[in-house]
């Protein structure tokens, strides 16, 4: 199953694409988003797509890090997507870290 956490525009786009598990939040809803991430992890969602600006909140970022550290394999895969304002500058490449962890090699 795929779930999406995003702003209103991101949520609308994924709903139009046929995704049923869509959660709409603003970038200030860190505590609520962290609870939704916990719920999705318990429900064994395979892919969680989250808006970058929502994921940038400190509480949300901590929850994503916790989920990635606790998981046994690569599921759930948490993918951060840009919003209509474009991609954000990042210090750490989360997807690259997941690939390195799963395959054992860094992909450049």
The listed range with the strongest mean pLDDT (40-44, 47-51, 102-106) is 47-51
- Boundaries of every domain in the chain: 2-103
Question: Is 34's pLDDT higher than 80?
Answer: yes
Task: Indicate the pLDDT class of residue 44, thresholds 50, 70 and 90.
Answer: confident
DSSP character at residue 87: P
Give CA–CA dist 10/29, Å, rounded: 15
pTM for the whole structure: 0.76
- Residue 36: per-residue pLDDT: 93
8 Å CB contact between 11 and 23: yes
Q: Residue 47, exposed/middle/buried by CB under 10 A (0-12, 13-18, 19+)?
A: middle
The fold adopted by the segment(s) 2-103 is Rossmann fold (3.40.50)
């Amino acid at each position: 199953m795929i779930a999406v956490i995003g702003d209103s525009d991101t949520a609308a786009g994924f709903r139009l694409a046929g995704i049923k598990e869509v959660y709409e939040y603003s970038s200030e809803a860190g505590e609520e988003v962290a609870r939704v991430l916990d719920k999705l992890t318990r429900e064994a969602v395979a892919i969680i797509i989250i808006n970058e600006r929502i994921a940038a909140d400190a509480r949300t970022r901590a929850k994503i890090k916790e989920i990635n550290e606790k998981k046994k394999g690569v599921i759930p895969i948490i993918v951060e997507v840009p919003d209509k304002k474009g991609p954000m500058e990042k210090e750490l490449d989360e997807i690259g870290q997941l690939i390195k962890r799963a395959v054992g090699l860094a992909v450049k």
